[in-house]
Structure 1
Amino acid sequence: MANQEDLLKKIISHAKEYGFVFQSSEIYDGLSAVYDYAQNGSELKKNIRDYWWKAMVQMHENIVGIDSAIFMHPKVWKASGHVDAFNDPMIDNKDSKKRYRADVLVEDFMAKIEGKIDKEVEKAKKRFGDSFDEQQFRETNPRVLANIEKIEGIKSRLYPAMDNDDMEGIKSLIEDLGIVCPMSGSRNWTEVRQFNLMFSTQMGSTAEGASEIYLRPETAQGIFVNYLNVQKTGRMKIPFGIAQTGKAFRNEIVARQFIFRMREFEQMEMQFFVRPGEEMKWFEYWKEARMNWHTSMGIPAEKFRFHDHDKLAHYANAAADIEFDFPMGFKELEGIHSRT
C-alpha cells in the first residue's frame, strides 16, 4: 500500500512539473477533486479523444457521432431513474473523519481475498511447472475453495442489501467482516446513508421563477433521447451506433485518487443498437474490439484485464469492465454493457 501511494505521489508531482495536470484554482488553495489539464495534458487528452473518435466513428460506416447539451430537461433524469436512484451508500469513519463508499469498502475486502487466491495459484504454478492445471487447482485446493466460499458468502449479503436499499444490512456486513478505516485503522463507523451524485442548479431569469435542473452525470442519456432524430435523419438501419464525447459531472463521495476520480470529467461513449437476440454476439464483439483498441496504444497487455459483473443492473443481461492496473490497483477504465 505504501509503495502504491508513493508511486501515485510521484505521478502527481510529475504531472504538475511537466505541464500535464494542475490543481484547479490552486492559487486559492484548490478545489477538491477538480483538475485543469495543462498545456501538455490538454494535447495528450485531445490525441486520445481523437484516436477514440477515429476508431469508433470514422472507421465505421454504421456509427455516427453527436454532441448533445450538458443541460437536459429534468424529466429525462426522472425517467432514467437518476433523480430517485443515482445514489451511492456513504459511510464515515468517526476517528479519521474520512468518507467512503460503503459498498467499495466491502468490494475492496473481497479483492484482498481474491488476492490470496491468486497468490496460492502463483505458488502452485512455480511448484508444478508445465504440468500445472490451474482450473483443476482452483476447483480442488482447500484454501482456494475456502476463500471462494468466503467471497460468495459476502456477495450473498452485499448485493441483496444494495438492491433493497438496506443500509443497515450493509453496515452490519462491514462490522461483521471487521473492516477498518484505511486511514485510522479503526472500526468506529457512522450509519450508512444514501448520497445522490447529481449536481443541481437553477435555470430562470429570477430566483422565484427558476426551475431546478441538473448537470448531466453521464453522456448516454443525450444519445438515447436523440435516437429517433438520428435514425430518421441519418436513415440508419439496425445495427448502428451513436457516439459522443463530452463533460459529465458527479458529486463523488470518494474523490482522493487524482484524475482517476474527479467531479468534472470527460466521457467517451458509444451506444450500439442491435436486434433482440443478437445482443450477446455484439457484446463479445465489442469486448474484443475495445480491448484491442487499448492495447494498440503500446501499453503492455498485462496491464489490462476484464472484470465480469456479478451484480447486473435491471436493464442488463451482461456487463464487463476493462480494468487497468493503476497505482492503486486494478480499477475500471471502460465498461461494456449489454442492455436489454
Structure 2
Amino acid sequence: MSEPILIWGTGAIGGTLGAAFIRAGNEVIFVDNVKEHVDAINEKGLQIVGPIFEDVVKARAYLPEDLEGTYARTFLCVKAHHTEAATHMLVEHLASDGYVVSAQNGLNERVISRIVGENRVIGCFVNFGADYLEPGVVQYSGHGAVVIGELDGRFTDRAEGIYDLMKQFEPKALITNNIWGFLWGKLIYGALLFGTALTNDSIADVLDNPTARPVLRKLALEVATVAAINNIKPEAFDGFDPAAFGPLATPEQTTKSFDDMSVHNRKSVKSHSGIWRDLAVRKRKTEVDAQVLPVVEIGKESRVPTPLAARVITMIHEIEDGKRPLAMANIEELARVA
C-alpha cells in the first residue's frame, strides 16, 4: 500500500516502529501531544539511538488538534491509560475502511473496540526494549517479540499486510490466531515488571533475587489464574513461559523461567522497565490502572481473588504520589501480604 501510515503516539514504541517503517521506504505521519517533541521532529527529524540501529528519519509530525485527513492504517502507541482519550481523537481520522493496530501494553483492544468497533481493530503484541529520552530522541535498546493477530482469530488480508509491515521492523515477527493469549502472557509478565519496579534494582537483579522470586511467582499466579478461569491460553515469548507461573506449574518450571528471563534482560541495554522510568525518572503516572487493574476487575467478576495485584496497584500509586520510596523493602512488604 502506498498510503501513509499514521503513528499516534511517538514515544518509545511509536517512535521506534515509525522510524523502522520509514527506513523500509514507507511514508509515516507522527502524532504526539508533546509540543516540544513534535517541534523537534519537524525541525530536525526523529533521532533513534541505541545498539540496534542509529539514524535520523524525516517525517511530518502533528499535535492531535492540528492533524487533518483520514488514514487507513493507524498504529495507536500511547500509554495504556491514555488509550480512551486518544481513540476518541483518532477515530475522526480513521478511513471508512481503516483499522487501528494497538501497539501497546495491556488489553487496550477492548477499549478501542468500544469506540471504533471491534471489526476495525487488529491486536498487536510488542516486547522490544525502547525508551523516550528527550524531545526528538528515542532509544531502541533491544530486540523482542512482535506478534499480530485478528481479535477473532481469523487470518485476513489486512492482518497479513500488517504482518508483512512488522517484518520490516522485526524479521522474527509472528502472526497468530491467539492474540489474546499473547496479550495475557504479557499481562503475567507485566505483573512481574510492576513488581521489579517497586525497587531501584535492575529487572534482572530483582528476577535473580531469592527474596523476590517467591512473591513475584504468587503475583504472576494471580494473573495466570484469572486467564485460566476465562479459558485463555497465555503464549510464551522471549524466554518467558507463562505456563511456568500457572496453576499447574512445578517449582522447576518456575525457576527455569526466572533464569531465562534474567538472561534475556541482561542482554538488553535497557536495564530497567518503562514502569520504573516513569516512576524514577519522568515522575509521571504509570500504566498500572490500565494493565493491572483490569486483572483485578476481571478476577472479581470471575470470583478469583487477586490480593497481591491489588496491593501492587496501591503501592505503585503511593510511589507516584511521593508517599513511598523505591526500595527492595517494598518487595519484602509484598511478601508479607502473600
- Whose strand proportion is higher, 1 or 2? 1
TM-score where L is the length of structure 1: 0.23
The structure that is helix-richer by fraction is 2
Larger Rg computed on CA atoms? 1
TM-score, normalised to structure 2, is 0.23
Higher relative contact order (CA 8 A, sep 6+): 1
